[in-house]
Structure 1
Amino acid sequence: MPTATASTSSASTRHLRFRGHTNFRQRLILSCLTGRPVRIDAIRPDDTEPGIQDFEAGFLRLIEKMTNGTVVEIGYTGTSVSLRPGTISGGDVTHDCGVSRSVGYYLEWIAVLAPFAKKEVRLTLKGITTGTGDAGVDILRTVTLPLLSQFLPEGTAFASPLELRVISRGMAPGGGGAVQFRSPLLPTTSGLRALNFNATGRVRRIRGVASAVRVSPNMASRLVDSSRGVLGRYIPDLYIFADVFRGEEAGRSPGFALSLVSTSTTGALQCAEVLSTPGTPPEEVAEKASRSLLSEIASGGCVGRQHQAHALLLMACGPEDVSKIRLGALTPTAIQMLRDIKEFTSVVFKIASANSAGGPAVERPSKAQGQTGSDSEEEEELEEEDIQTARIQPQELILTCVGVGIRGARKAA
């Protein structure tokens, strides 16, 4: 049974080679989980500032803090990186994320690594709590961690819950926020659970957080009212919490943001998050976030587009049993994750159309010679109805795989 420690076999000592800076974090996490050394070349070779950026170097430093015996080598020009993973040690870790990227850039993939550690992870991250292009702390707390918890065994085997606490908020560009992440360990006798998530259900509630720091509390109220005006027409069970931070807990820069999460009758989560830019009124931020959430819901699937790659990785690391999930149209990140999973673990996913797996298609009468004008108009109306239905119905996929049974580094007492 594979473990999350470095293997000594000849296959695992050979470096897997990749090119480019895309999916940088995912490949490093896969390397740590499978024990396969990895080398990444041609990292921005033609840019004005070639090589890895400071936030990527920070992610490497965080992996070194989370592991024991990991060897990282960065080329002279910074355009190549090699990593030979060690044991995932865990424990108490504090890391300054800087102000180039938010804490979500680091935590959304470190959270996947944490349950496989030898010691319980208690991680403190400092920096920007909500930033453009990365998952904010509210999305991590309400969507990312619940997704991870679906793969973990029953909570009775854990000494602590899976949780994320926001100590202080920090908006770009100054940052100044801090969060505490705590993760339980996998039991010594088992790994992750197999997942069968094939029903999207109907949206039954929407929750949200309107956060504001170093601005008038009225900004958060305007976010709430504007978002209710858009979403209240679709669902009555709608609640948005105004979270206003002041003083030392408000970071160094002013700003506000709105995070929204929808929950279906089967537990499927869809999310959207928009933060303010200089000169942007709260009403515009709220409307953009609300429309983005509606777009996510319309895209279908049991997991949102932002978390497709996370679900696929956890399925591949799961037990040697069948896992199945329904997703919307795959994102480029998810497609590349499928390829990387095959390189690291040899796990191949079976992909089938969820729409074709449903009920039989409705047959329409064919146009016959001598058909009257009213019949022709009726057929055109039916065809137009089919087109509208195809536009509304999301193109969903069913992905199935058998995991490799990766276990944690925790030792029996």
Structure 2
Amino acid sequence: MAATNFVEIDGSYLEGGGQALRNALSLSCILGKPVRVVNIRANRPKPGLSHQHMHGVKLLRDITNADVVGNTMGSTKLEFIPHTIRSGNYRVAVQTAASITLVYQMALPVLLFADGASQVDATGGTNVAFAPQVEYMDEVLLPNLLRFGVSFELKLLQHGFYPRGNGRCILDVEPVHQVKAGQLVKFGQLDKVGGVAFCAGRLPMSIALDMQQTARREIHRLWPNQECNIKPKKLTFDVASDNGAAILVTAHTTTGCILGSGAVGERKMHGHLLGSNAACKLTEYVRKEICVDAHMQDQLIIYMALAEGCSRMLTGQLTKHTRTAIHVAEQITGVKFEVTMENFDKTLVTCVGLGQLNGLL
């Protein structure tokens, strides 16, 4: 590749996983800045690009007609030079059960700055470990992004579990002129708790009921009279042909905050344990009265960096994912994030964003 002024991102920083790569490439596309990512996923048992990352890179290459060097399995270095963001209908066939939502995490902010509506039809894993579940994307990410003037429509056509995947989703995205500053700092009071607990394939309905009942018991242990509508489901064969189980529990507050916590079954499906894990984490968020849960923190950083005006979010202690996202955003955009400890349990994150305009609309 010809000599270019790359912004170089060290993929081994803090979290040392795919977070740095995803955010770096998304911001590269939006700002039109070439990036070089080195030491990709250096802290993982198998460093370098996996199937999921390769397909995400290929998708962004197609969206921006980018010049790319290093998008091969296991590669620890990638150079990416984007061109114009193009709306359109895109197809991604992620191999095995690699996460669909993490591919969407790369593409969504980019397509907001396209010249028209876009659609991404993806196959892979919908409910897998170490990635947001599709239900979380729809029930928690979407309402949080509405605070930034960002919306999308997500259709779940087929569930996909480890190890085969075979899930399918369609993401529809409308472009924006500009991302608005988001304010997520007032908790209010707990209003309601909802969610879904499901199993599929040859797994018995009792697993879904175990997840539901244990999660409800954990909620009612702290708030005996709290409305808690967690729906148990046995998915039909036409939408989930393989064995799988998962739960997502959400808390809604009187000020419109929505927090979520989930758990995904792997080889051994212990319904009571899955339900307990999801509900205990959610009750921790509610007791602390934070407005953004631990898995939402890092996903909002890129929107805060791009927004017009000052965005603020009140959350718990920052995860390594979030600190990595902040580091990458500051390096590529030049904005600064202010992180203030409100007390031992709360952190206020503030950023005056770029005010990035969509010059294609």
Is the contact made by 1:185 and 1:410 (CA closer than 8 Å) also made in structure 2? Answer: no
Q: Is it true that 1:30 corresponds to 2:17 in the alignment?
A: no
| Structure 1 residues 268 and 14, CA gap change in structure 2 (3 angstroms) | same
User: Where does residue 247 of structure 1 map in the other structure?
Assistant: 237
How much does 1:322 deviate? Answer: 2.4
Encode CA deviations 1:77-108: one digit per residue, 9 max, x unaligned: 82211001122213211211222522122123
Is the contact made by 1:299 and 1:329 (CA closer than 8 Å) also made in structure 2? Answer: no
Decide which of 208, 216, 220 is 2:195's aligned counterpart. 208
User: Where does residue 185 of structure 2 map in the other structure?
Assistant: 198
User: Where does residue 17 of structure 1 map in the other structure?
Assistant: 8
How much does 1:299 deviate? Answer: 5.0
Is the contact made by 1:273 and 1:289 (CA closer than 8 Å) also made in structure 2? Answer: yes
Distance 1:324 1:271 in 2: 19
Decide which of 184, 195, 205 is 2:174's aligned counterpart. 184
Give the 3-state SS of the residue equivalent to 2:239 in structure 1.
helix
Larger gyration radius, structure 1 or structure 2: 1
Distance 1:48 1:290 in 2: 30
Q: Percent identity?
A: 21
Distance 1:46 1:274 in 2: 23
Is the contact made by 1:18 and 1:41 (CA closer than 8 Å) also made in structure 2? Answer: yes
Q: Is it true that 1:404 corresponds to 2:357 in the alignment?
A: no
User: Where does residue 60 of structure 1 map in the other structure?
Assistant: 57
| Structure 1 residues 178 and 100, CA gap change in structure 2 (3 angstroms) | closer
How much does 1:345 deviate? Answer: 1.4
Distance 1:81 1:314 in 2: 24
Is the contact made by 1:104 and 1:140 (CA closer than 8 Å) also made in structure 2? Answer: yes
User: Where does residue 122 of structure 2 map in the other structure?
Assistant: 125
Give the 3-state SS of the residue equivalent to 2:296 in structure 1.
helix
Is the contact made by 2:23 and 2:302 (CA closer than 8 Å) also made in structure 1? Answer: no
Distance 1:47 1:260 in 2: 29
Distance 1:208 1:258 in 2: 7
Alignment of 1:250-399 (within 5 A): 250-251=240-241, 253-298=242-287, 300-319=289-308, 321-355=309-343, 395-399=345-349
| Structure 1 residues 194 and 249, CA gap change in structure 2 (3 angstroms) | same
| Structure 1 residues 184 and 299, CA gap change in structure 2 (3 angstroms) | same
User: Where does residue 73 of structure 1 map in the other structure?
Assistant: 69
Distance 1:151 1:405 in 2: 12
Encode CA deviations 1:42-74: one digit per residue, 9 max, x unaligned: 336798865322222111112123x13211111
Distance 2:42 2:214 in 1: 45
Encode CA deviations 1:174-207: one digit per residue, 9 max, x unaligned: 11211111122114xxx11122322122221111
Give the 3-state SS of the residue equivalent to 1:247 in structure 2.
coil
Is the contact made by 1:33 and 1:113 (CA closer than 8 Å) also made in structure 2? Answer: yes
Encode CA deviations 1:256-280: one digit per residue, 9 max, x unaligned: 1111111112122221111112333
Encode CA deviations 1:20-53: one digit per residue, 9 max, x unaligned: 3532111111211221111012336798865322
Normalised to the residue count of structure 2, the TM-score between the two structures is 0.88
Q: Is it true that 1:109 corresponds to 2:100 in the alignment?
A: no
Give the 3-state SS of the residue equivalent to 1:163 in structure 2.
strand
Alignment of 1:212-227 (within 5 A): 212-214=199-201, 215-227=203-215
Give the 3-state SS of the residue equivalent to 2:273 in structure 1.
helix
How much does 1:406 deviate? Answer: 1.0
Is the contact made by 1:54 and 1:100 (CA closer than 8 Å) also made in structure 2? Answer: no
Distance 1:75 1:247 in 2: 36
Is the contact made by 2:184 and 2:292 (CA closer than 8 Å) also made in structure 1? Answer: no
Distance 1:49 1:397 in 2: 33
Encode CA deviations 1:123-156: one digit per residue, 9 max, x unaligned: 1111111000000011010011111221117xxx
Give the 3-state SS of the residue equivalent to 1:354 in structure 2.
strand
Distance 2:116 2:345 in 1: 42
Gaps of 5+ in 1: 1-9, 154-160, 356-393
RMSD, aligned α-carbons: 2.4
Decide which of 150, 160, 163 is 2:153's aligned counterpart. 163
| Structure 1 residues 196 and 105, CA gap change in structure 2 (3 angstroms) | closer
Encode CA deviations 1:283-313: one digit per residue, 9 max, x unaligned: 2221122112223334553211111122222
How much does 1:113 deviate? Answer: 2.5
Distance 1:49 1:196 in 2: 38
| Structure 1 residues 278 and 349, CA gap change in structure 2 (3 angstroms) | closer
**How many residue pairs get matched?**
349
Gaps of 5+ in 2: none
Encode CA deviations 1:372-412: one digit per residue, 9 max, x unaligned: xxxxxxxxxxxxxxxxxxxxxx532323222111122533x
Is the contact made by 1:75 and 1:81 (CA closer than 8 Å) also made in structure 2? Answer: yes
Give the 3-state SS of the residue equivalent to 1:232 in structure 2.
helix
| Structure 1 residues 265 and 109, CA gap change in structure 2 (3 angstroms) | farther
Is the contact made by 1:272 and 1:296 (CA closer than 8 Å) also made in structure 2? Answer: no
Moved more, 169-178 or 129-138: 169-178
How much does 1:16 deviate? Answer: 0.7
